Structure 1
C-alpha cells in the first residue's frame, strides 16, 4: 500500500463513484492525492516491485520454507494475502535471469582455457630468460667463477639442473604453441572441409548419411567467414542459450501442469489448479537458483580458496536435495494423497520431466545455434 495523502474529496478520480474509505468500492483505485513530490516516483517503484501491497516478503518466506502452503491457500480462495502466482513467477524470473545475464556478460567461455595457456607460456619464457641471464653473468664475472670453484661447482650444478628443467619447459612451451595454433584452426578444417561443396561430395559417396548436419555446417561456415574463431563461436552459443532459457522455461510450464493433470482425479482437480502448483514450484526453483548465484558471487571474492570452493559445492548439493524434497512435500500438502502414492507419482513425474526437459534443452541449443549471427 502506498503512503500518499488521502483526498478530502470523496469522488473517485477514476470512475466518479463515492469513496467512503481509502479505496473506491467500484473500481478499486486508491483515493489519494494525484500530485506528489519527485521522490514519490522512486519510492512507489520500489514498493511495487518489493512489497506488492505489503505481502511480498511474506510470500517469499512461505515460498522458500513452507512447501505447498501458497498453493493450498490460493486454491482455498484466500487470494488477497499473497502475491498472485503469475505475477510472482514473472517477477522472480525477471530478477533471476537479469542477475544471471550480468554474471555472464563479461565471461568468455571459449577462451578461459587459452588464457591459462597464455599465462603458462609467459611463466615458462620468464624462467628460461632468467636461467640464460645467470649463465651469461658467470661467463663475464670472474668473481662468480671464483665463488663457483670455492663451492665445488655448486652454482654450475644448479644451472645445469635448471637447464634440464628449461628443456622440459621448452617442450611444454611447444605444446602451448600447438594448442594456440590448434585453437585458431577453423572448425570446418578439422573435418577436412573447405566449403559446403566438399560436404556435398562426401555426402554423395556416403549416401547422404549426414544430411542432418547440413544446417549446422552452413551456420559454422557463415560464422567463420565473418571472422569468428572457434572460441568466439562457443562463447556466442553459450550466451545465446542462456538468453533464450527464460522463454523455453515459460513454454514448459503448461506441459509440467499437464503431467500433473494426467496423474490426478479430473473431478477433484482442474487444470487450473495444477497450473497454480506449477507456477509456485517453478518460482521456488528460480528463487533458489538466484540465491545460489548470489552466494557463488560472494564466495568468488575469496579467490577460489579451498574453504570457498568446498562451501560452494555443499550449497549446490544441498539445494538440489532440497529442491527434490520440496516437490514431494508440496505435492503431499496440496493434493493430500497417500505418502506412498505421492512418492510413486513424484518419481514417475521426475523421470518423465527429466526426459522432456532434456529434450527441451537440446532443442533450445539447436535453435540458439542456428540463429547465431
Structure 2
C-alpha cells in the first residue's frame, strides 16, 4: 500500500525545488513529507503504516513456516516488497531465540563442576568417591612423570584453572557462551551458504542466492527450537530433540527441492552430504566456541 504523502514545493532543509515524482530530496535526502499537521492525522498515519507492516510481517512468517523455500525463491526473483527482508527477519527471530534459550534452556549449556559432583558422591557413596579421587590423583601423578617440560605443566595448569573458573561461575559462563554461540551462528550461516554453492555449482547461481536460502533456513530452525523449548517447559517429560532434527531435515529437503528445482531422488541424494557436512561443521564450531569461552573466562 503506497504511503499518502503531503508534499512540499521546496525542500525545507536545503531549499531544493521538488518535482512531483520526488518522494525524497535529491539534494540532501530528506523525506518530502509534511509532518506539521493535526495530531489526529499523525495517529491515523501511524496505525495505517503499522497495520501495513503487520500484514507483511505475518505473511512472511506464514510462508516461512508452511512453504519451505518459497521466500528464498521470491527474493531471488526480485519479488521482495511484500515480505520482511531476510536479514531483518533473522535478527528479529534470533533475539527471541537467544532470549528463550537464556530463560529456559541455558542450564544445559554448562556442565556441573567436577568437585561438586564428587561432594555429592561422597554424601551418597563415600567408598565410590574415594576411588574416584584416588584414580584422579594417580592420573595427575602419571602426567607429572610424563611431562618433563615445565612450561607444558604450567600451560596445563593454566588451562585447568580456566576450566574450573568457567565451571564455578555458572551464570556468567552461560551468558558468555550464549553470546559466543550467537556469533557462531552468524558465522555458520554464510558457511552453509558456501556448502550449497558447492553442491549446486552446476546451476551457476550467485552466492547471494545460496546465502538467502541459508538465512531463511536458520530463521526457521530458530523458530522450531523456540517452539520445542517452550513445549518442554509446559510438558517437562517430553523430549523434543529428535523431533527438531527430523523436522529440520524434512524442511531442508523440501526447501532444496523448491528452490533448486531438481528431482526428488536427486535432492534426497544431495541432502545426505549437505546434512552431514552441516552437522559436522556445527559440532566443530560449537566445540571451538566452547573452547574460546573457557579461554576467555
TM norm. shorter chain > 0.5: yes
In the TM superposition, what are the counterparts of 1:31-50 in structure 2 within 5 Å? 31-33=33-35
Q: Distance in 2 between matches of 1:177 and 1:218?
A: 31
Partner in structure 2 of residue 136 of structure 1:
none
Aligned-pair distance for 1:81? 1.4
Q: Is the 8 A contact 2:105 2:229 kept in 1?
A: no
Partner in structure 1 of residue 261 of structure 2:
336
Partner in structure 1 of residue 286 of structure 2:
361
Larger Rg: 1
Give the TM-score normalised by structure 2: 0.74
Larger mean Cα displacement after TM superposition, 357-366 or 267-276:
267-276
Aligned-pair distance for 1:78? 0.8
Q: CA RMSD in A?
A: 4.6
Q: Distance in 2 between matches of 1:279 and 1:344?
A: 23
In the TM superposition, what are the counterparts of 1:266-345 in structure 2 within 5 Å? 266=202, 268-297=204-233, 299=234, 308-310=235-237, 312-313=238-239, 316-345=241-270
Partner in structure 2 of residue 62 of structure 1:
63
Quick one: structure 1 residues 234 and 105, their matched pair in 2 at CA, closer, same or farther if it must change by over 3 Å?
Answer: closer
1:17-39 per-residue CA deviation (whole Å, 9 max, x = no partner) reads 637489448559472516897xx
List runs of 5+ in structure 2 lacking aligned partners. none
Q: Distance in 2 between matches of 1:357 and 1:190?
A: 34
Larger mean Cα displacement after TM superposition, 238-247 or 352-361:
238-247
Aligned-pair distance for 1:270? 1.3
- Identify the match of residue 124 of structure 2 among 151, 167, 176: 176
Partner in structure 2 of residue 217 of structure 1:
157
Q: Distance in 1 between matches of 2:81 and 2:23?
A: 15
Q: Distance in 2 between matches of 1:75 and 1:244?
A: 31
Q: Is the 8 A contact 1:22 1:31 kept in 2?
A: no
Quick one: structure 1 residues 365 and 213, their matched pair in 2 at CA, closer, same or farther if it must change by over 3 Å?
Answer: farther
Q: Distance in 2 between matches of 1:329 and 1:56?
A: 23
Q: Is the 8 A contact 1:12 1:31 kept in 2?
A: no
How many residues align? The count is: 283
Quick one: structure 1 residues 223 and 256, their matched pair in 2 at CA, closer, same or farther if it must change by over 3 Å?
Answer: closer
Partner in structure 1 of residue 195 of structure 2:
259
Aligned-pair distance for 1:245? 0.6
Q: Distance in 2 between matches of 1:58 and 1:285?
A: 18
In the TM superposition, what are the counterparts of 1:1-373 in structure 2 within 5 Å? 6-7=5-6, 9-11=8-10, 16=16, 18=18, 20=20, 23-24=23-24, 29=31, 31-33=33-35, 52=53, 54-103=55-104, 110=112, 175-176=123-124, 178=126, 191-192=136-137, 205-206=145-146, 215=155, 217-221=157-161, 232-233=168-169, 236-266=172-202, 268-297=204-233, 299=234, 308-310=235-237, 312-313=238-239, 316-372=241-297
Q: Distance in 2 between matches of 1:235 and 1:178?
A: 30
Aligned-pair distance for 1:327? 0.4
Q: Distance in 1 between matches of 2:52 and 2:153?
A: 50
Q: Distance in 1 between matches of 2:231 and 2:69?
A: 25
List runs of 5+ in structure 1 lacking aligned partners. 119-171, 300-307
Q: Distance in 2 between matches of 1:178 and 1:235?
A: 30
Q: Distance in 1 between matches of 2:21 and 2:125?
A: 78
Q: Distance in 1 between matches of 2:92 and 2:199?
A: 29
Partner in structure 2 of residue 132 of structure 1:
none
Q: Distance in 2 between matches of 1:233 and 1:287?
A: 29
